[in-house]
Structure 1
Amino acid sequence: MTTAGRFPEPYRSAPGSNLADILERVLDKGIVIAGDIRINLLDIELLTVKLRLVVASVDKAKEMGIDWWETDPALSSSARRNELSRENARLRERLQELEEAEGQR
């Protein structure tokens, strides 16, 4: 029998499973969320959007072969330097070609 005015006991999680523990487990193991959205009209595909979300630690992502941030110039200073070096080399080659073409005239 319940007593009027008495509230149910609050939900209590298992000991040791706080948000930090859950986040640590997710980052350690990794989690993938995938989904596709397709819009068709009379059996004609108008739009397809493929969504993929991977949540993992950097070490786990590298273990899975995901390391795009290392080559993205917006996120990596070494990638930015490499991109600038390549651009500089292309510009030097182009300048050399133009100087040689001017010298032949």
Structure 2
Amino acid sequence: MTTPRRLPDPYGGPSSGASLADILERVLDKGVVIAGDIRINLLDIELLTVKLRLIVASVDKAKEMGIDWWESDPALSSGARRDELTRENAELRARLERLEASYGEAQIEGAHGRRESP
């Protein structure tokens, strides 16, 4: 029985057994940063600038680099969403208390300022 023949590496080196999973593991372990800017000018007037920054890394590597914005994003974190709802609830309760207090004062003033006709 013959073993399958490996194709030569197109980059000239010996064929390595690195699979896509191995490559992905290395990228996530080390991290990759891709950065670029796109500028659109018309007659030396800048119309648009788009700055692109892409970081590909594992969560652990990102945290090690000090990147953890997803933990405070309510769309991505249930804890952040819960914190946002708690804050919003407290603000609404305070607003309701202020409205009820001002409504109560208006009722009291209205009762004292009424004149009854004989």
Residue matched to 1:14: 16
Gaps of 5+ in 2: 1-5, 10-14, 107-118
Once the two structures are TM-superposed, the CA of residue 10 in structure 1 deviates from its matched residue by 2.1
The structure whose Rg is larger is 2
Tell me how many residue pairs correspond in the alignment.
Answer: 96
In structure 2, the residue corresponding to 1:14 is in which secondary structure? coil
In structure 1, the residue corresponding to 2:62 is in which secondary structure? helix
Gaps of 5+ in 1: 1-8
The two structures have a TM-score, normalised by structure 1, of: 0.86
Q: Percent identity?
A: 76
Runs of 4+ residues over 4 Å off in structure 1:
none
The two structures have a TM-score, normalised by structure 2, of: 0.77
Once the two structures are TM-superposed, the CA of residue 87 in structure 1 deviates from its matched residue by 0.5
> Structure 2 CA distance, aligned partners of 1:49 and 1:38?
6
